[in-house]
Copies of this chain bind each other. A is one copy, B any other.
């Protein structure tokens, strides 16, 4: 092959040293910006670097230091816009600081989460951004604590006694949703959630309930929670509506505490031939691009992904640089977009179930 260039091995720091007529130590110093090198020699080093196309081997470079210039990121999944954007943001922020981001998905499993964390510990990452599957009290956080890792917890967390946390202000956003729905006249609302133990689901539920009952004490709030998976929730929701099909005690609005729940609710509405907002209103936590192009557009709570990412990285790097002090819990404000899927109850007669299977 004509790939002589490609075949020969990468130049090492010693190659640069011999080309520049200095020692490897000097090359290292020049490249790391030490000033006690004669300008003449420095220039020769730069020239040699240029000529050979030398690049520092980050792996060898990281060998000697305890912490490597890598940041680990563990997300529950990559398929949703929220975590997808989050990884992209984190990656950019890590790169800005000369770090490499290693991202992994726990696929909603705490066991996997811990295993990934162990791998990252093997790599001696300088820090970890962990979006836990459930909350800050899972085995992953315990592992990080036990092994003295530095990290920051995001998203499904409230506060922790060992790690900084950054998350959306779920409670405040939920309160705003409650105000909006109540001002539209809703007095019977179904809240749909998943994972009772997840810290944020609790915060979202409580934030909603407290504000709602404060504004309208006669309010009726039903709750359908599925412990773990999405499919059980689908069943629970189906049962819930089946029981209320005949009577007049059907809720006039549904508030879903997370994206998958919004999808399940919409799919259930479809099955029953209900349309938003005439037959029922819908608001969901987590926005997605498609929600503004469907008919009706779906109302949603938008989480401040960029702010969460940048705050998380900010605080993480401060810890990496050795900053002490007690861990802080940060809450970033959300935006609530009330779109067409929310209307006033009873303004239009229900279309009644059954025009579709």
Binding site for B on A (CB under 8 A): 3, 5-7, 9-10, 55-60, 62-63, 66, 68, 77-81, 83-85, 87-88, 91, 100-105, 107, 118-119, 121-124, 145-148, 263, 266-267, 270, 275, 288-295, 297
Contacts and interface: CB of A to CB of B under 8 A. Distances in A.
A123 B100 contact: yes
A91 B79 contact: no
B290 A270 contact: no
Given A57-B122, A267-B293, A292-B267, A85 B81 contact: no
A134 to B, nearest CB: 19
Given A105-B88, A123-B58, A9 B66 contact: yes
16 contacts: A9-B66, A55-B118, A58-B122, A59-B123, A63-B63, A77-B88, A78-B84, A78-B88, A80-B84, A84-B84, A91-B104, A267-B292, A270-B295, A288-B290, A290-B290, A294-B294
A291 to B, nearest CB: 8
Contacts of A297: 270
Given A57-B124, A63-B59, A105 B79 contact: no
Interface centre among A263, A266, A294 (most CB of B within 10 A): A294
B59 A68 contact: yes
Interface centre among A10, A56, A290 (most CB of B within 10 A): A290
A2 to B, nearest CB: 11
Contacts of A291: 290
Contacts of A102: 100, 102
Given A87-B105, A105-B88, A148 B66 contact: no
Contact of A290 (B118, B263, B295): B263
B59 A124 contact: yes
B84 A107 contact: no
A87 B91 contact: no
A119 B107 contact: no
A320 to B, nearest CB: 16
A113 B118 CA distance: 30
Contacts of A122: 55-58
Contacts of A124: 10, 57, 59
Given A102-B100, A293-B266, A294-B294, A79 B68 contact: no
Contacts of A88: 77-79, 105, 107
B7 A148 contact: yes
A145 B83 CA distance: 33
Contacts of A266: 290, 293-294
Top 4 closest A-B pairs, CB basis?
A6-B148, A78-B84, A266-B293, A79-B84
Contact of A60 (B3, B58, B63, B83): B63
Interface centre among A79, A85, A87, A122 (most CB of B within 10 A): A79
A293 B79 CA distance: 17
Nearest to A86: B78
A302 to B, nearest CB: 14
Contacts of A62: 59
Given A57-B122, A59-B62, A91-B105, 10 more contacts: A6-B147, A59-B59, A59-B68, A59-B124, A79-B84, A84-B84, A100-B119, A263-B293, A290-B290, A295-B295
Given A58-B122, A122-B56, A275-B295, A78 B87 contact: yes
